[in-house]
Amino acid sequence: MEGRMPDLPSHRGIHAGIPPLTLALIYIGAVVLPLALAALLGETHRQVTVQLGAAAGSISAAMILLQMISSGRFEAVSGRIGIDITMAFHKWAAPMALAFALAHVALLIGLPDPDRPNRLARRFATLMTAERLWDARLALILLALLVGLALLRDRLPVRYQIWRGSHALGALALVGLVLAHLVTDGLLGPARAALWTGFAAAVTLPALWVYARRLTRPRSECWTVASLRRVTPRIHEMLLENPHGDSLDFRPGQFVWASVGGQRLPLHDHPFSIASAPGAPQLRLLIQEAGDFTSSLDAVEPGTRVAIDGPHGSFGPSDAPRDGLVLIAGGVGIAPILSMLETFARDGCACRLRFAYAMHDSRDMIPAAMFRPALATLGVTPLLTASRNAGGEIAQGRLGEAQMKLLLDGLDPKRVEVMICGPGPLMTTLTDTLNDLGVPLSHIHYERFSYGSGPLSRKDHRIMAGFATIFAALAAAMALYSLV
Ligand SMILES: Cc1cc2nc3c(=O)[nH]c(=O)nc-3n(C[C@H](O)[C@H](O)[C@H](O)COP(=O)(O)OP(=O)(O)OC[C@H]3O[C@@H](n4cnc5c(N)ncnc54)[C@H](O)[C@@H]3O)c2cc1C
């Protein structure tokens, strides 16, 4: 399981993007900015509930706008925190924006007043029927629909692409409606109207640019399929080459958006981890059959064009000094781990390396010939497990506490870094187990291949607590505004 190489210079490993705390502060600042300007300009209301309602509406609107750039496509913004956390935040910020929008409506209706018993019903009727508020009503319905459909996505009987396309178009329409509501009904002065218009443009144009760039990209930027073969009954190895001899500059562990077959519409791209080492003559993807696209790969011929957008993601070993590096792969999660193994085999690894690979059925493991040469160079013995058809060097069972102890044996758990990639439940269970064995949560990194719901690890709970702090800060800003 172990290999030690002489200390060699570590490979490139500086992540682009903004550090998490700075990013959180920028987010809070951007959401609160329109409120701060309103307070500064004295554009406030006398009634506390109306004042709170206006604040809730402003916060909701800003959160909705910022959803456009928290989609994981902007490495310069989210490259440091990675796509997992970016998408988790995107997922949680949407229902929070809806909650603030509902609070906006409820607070504008106000509290019951015994002296004016009809007031509530009158205000409610105005919000429901006033012609000028059509954009607000539509925006609220659309926001609720987008949130609901995203939460239920895995259970919807529609193709992922259809959901994705409708989500993007719905989000664009929502931004338009929110801006229309703010500018026409928001009783804004010219400075605030200009701020909101600039805000909407600043988030929408980069999001549109990401997709427009994909549509207009010259064909010469496309890669082609050099070969495609099944390496297990359900996993294909796709080797890509660049007709111009260009290589992709990436860090092991990163992924690309691949669009196979000259499809330019960005709805057709899929994220896949790179399974080869940086600088290798061909780019390797390991693709497991999961749905319509991945199950149709047998029809892809060598020479087929593949548009590659990347690299993306922050998954991968850090440059921090460490005692040991533990690499754990489950299922097709072997893809980014293989890239790391091959890179270390070529460039050297400055710490002790351990490797485990688990599969439900050993017949679904990629051929040993694909990882053996790297392990032999590194002097690492793999820990292989399978629940079915184990035998030979593949132990019967799953990865659990006993195996984690084995992987950590002889290492100082506090100075170990762990990379896990595999099914969600495997990653969350092993994260908690390794943490119980003394590995700090900040040293354990994993990459999810699906953003659907699933079990959460202690690390996920910590991240959620960070999100909750951001939302609490926004609620506090809302309360503070009512005191102005
Ligand atoms: C960062 C990352 C790295 C990944 N690396 C690999 C890899 O190396 N090998 C591998 O086999 N799989 C990988 N995946 C998963 C892979 O992207 C999906 O299995 C694939 O896109 C499914 O497409 P489909 O049309 O066959 O199935 P569908 O039925 O369309 O989708 C099945 C599920 O895959 C996910 N998915 C589909 N399309 C997308 C998309 N465009 N963006 C995000 N999620 C999508 C959704 O959760 C969906 O429910 C990775 C996913 C992510 C997020």
pLDDT tens, position by position, 114-148: 888 788 888 888 888 888 899 999 999 999 999 99
Report whether pLDDT(370) > 90. Answer: yes
Q: Give the CB-side neighbour count of residue 279, counting CA atoms within 13 A.
A: 8
CB 385 within 8 A of CB 356: yes
* pLDDT at res. 117: 78
Report whether pLDDT(43) > 80. Answer: no
Mean predicted lDDT score pLDDT of the chain: 89
**Portion of the chain with pLDDT greater than 90, in percent:** 63
Q: Whose CA is nearest to atom 47 of ligand 1?
A: 450
CB 1 within 8 A of CB 382: yes
Q: Which two tokens stand for residue 124?
A: 């409610």
- Cα 315–Cα 92–Cα 199 angle in degrees, nearest 5: 95
Confidence of residue 14 (pLDDT cuts 50, 70, 90): very low
Confidence of residue 442 (pLDDT cuts 50, 70, 90): very high
- Which ligand 1 atom lies nearest to the CA of residue 154? 49
- Cα 282–Cα 288–Cα 291 angle in degrees, nearest 5: 125
Phi-psi region of 357 (alpha: psi -120 to 50; beta: other; left: phi over 0): beta
Report whether pLDDT(349) > 60. Answer: yes
Instruction: Summarize pLDDT for 76-109 with one digit per residue, the tens.
Output: 787 788 888 999 999 999 999 999 999 999 999 8
- Which ligand 1 atom lies nearest to the CA of residue 294? 26
- Which of 98-107, 110-119, 346-355, 468-477 has the least mean pLDDT? 110-119
| Sequence letter at residue 7 | D
Q: Which two tokens stand for residue 348?
A: 């050297």
For residues 89 and 93, what is the distance between their CA atoms, to the nearest angstrom?
A: 6
Q: Whose CA is nearest to atom 5 of ligand 1?
A: 272
* pLDDT at res. 368: 94
Q: Which two tokens stand for residue 450?
A: 């699906």
Instruction: Summarize pLDDT for 150-200 with one digit per residue, the tens.
Output: 999 888 888 888 899 999 999 999 999 999 999 988 777 888 889 999 999
For residues 266 and 114, what is the distance between their CA atoms, to the nearest angstrom?
A: 56
For residues 122 and 109, what is the distance between their CA atoms, to the nearest angstrom?
A: 9
Q: Whose CA is nearest to atom 20 of ligand 1?
A: 270
Q: 410 C-alpha to center of ligand 1: Å?
A: 37
Better pLDDT: 103 or 1? 103
* pLDDT at res. 72: 67
CB 110 within 8 A of CB 47: yes
Report whether pLDDT(266) > 60. Answer: yes
Report whether pLDDT(459) > 90. Answer: yes
For residues 339 and 311, what is the distance between their CA atoms, to the nearest angstrom?
A: 13
Report whether pLDDT(12) > 70. Answer: no
Q: 305 forms bridges with which residues in the sheet?
A: 224
376 Cβ partners below 8 Å, 6+ apart? Answer: none
* pLDDT at res. 417: 96
With tokens 């293989």, the residue in question is: 338
Pocket test for ligand 1, best of 78, 427, 450, 453 (most atoms within 8 A of CB): 450
Average pLDDT over residues 459-464: 95
Helix (H, G, I), strand (E, B) or coil at 161: helix
CB 170 within 8 A of CB 148: no
Q: Which residues line ligand 1 (CB under 6 A)?
A: 83, 154, 160, 255, 269-273, 286-288, 290-294, 313, 332, 335, 447, 449-452
Q: Whose CA is nearest to atom 15 of ligand 1?
A: 449
Report whether pLDDT(344) > 70. Answer: yes
Q: CA nearest 439: which of 405, 465, 484, 479? A: 405
* pLDDT at res. 467: 97
Q: 271 C-alpha to center of ligand 1: Å?
A: 6
Q: 126 C-alpha to center of ligand 1: Å?
A: 45
Better pLDDT: 207 or 326? 326
Report whether pLDDT(2) > 70. Answer: no
Q: 241 C-alpha to center of ligand 1: Å?
A: 22
* pLDDT at res. 220: 47
Better pLDDT: 124 or 233? 233
Q: Whose CA is nearest to atom 2 of ligand 1?
A: 449
Phi-psi region of 303 (alpha: psi -120 to 50; beta: other; left: phi over 0): left
- Which of 15-24, 48-57, 260-269, 400-409 has the least mean pLDDT? 260-269
* pLDDT at res. 244: 83
CB 365 within 8 A of CB 333: no
CB 178 within 8 A of CB 199: no
Q: Whose CA is nearest to atom 38 of ligand 1?
A: 270
Helix (H, G, I), strand (E, B) or coil at 98: helix
Q: CA nearest 335: which of 308, 315, 350? A: 315
* Full DSSP string of 275-298: -S-TT-SSEEEEEE--STTGGGGG
For residues 97 and 366, what is the distance between their CA atoms, to the nearest angstrom?
A: 44
Q: 450 C-alpha to center of ligand 1: Å?
A: 6
* pLDDT at res. 121: 86
Confidence of residue 205 (pLDDT cuts 50, 70, 90): very high
For residues 34 and 17, what is the distance between their CA atoms, to the nearest angstrom?
A: 25
For residues 39 and 267, what is the distance between their CA atoms, to the nearest angstrom?
A: 42
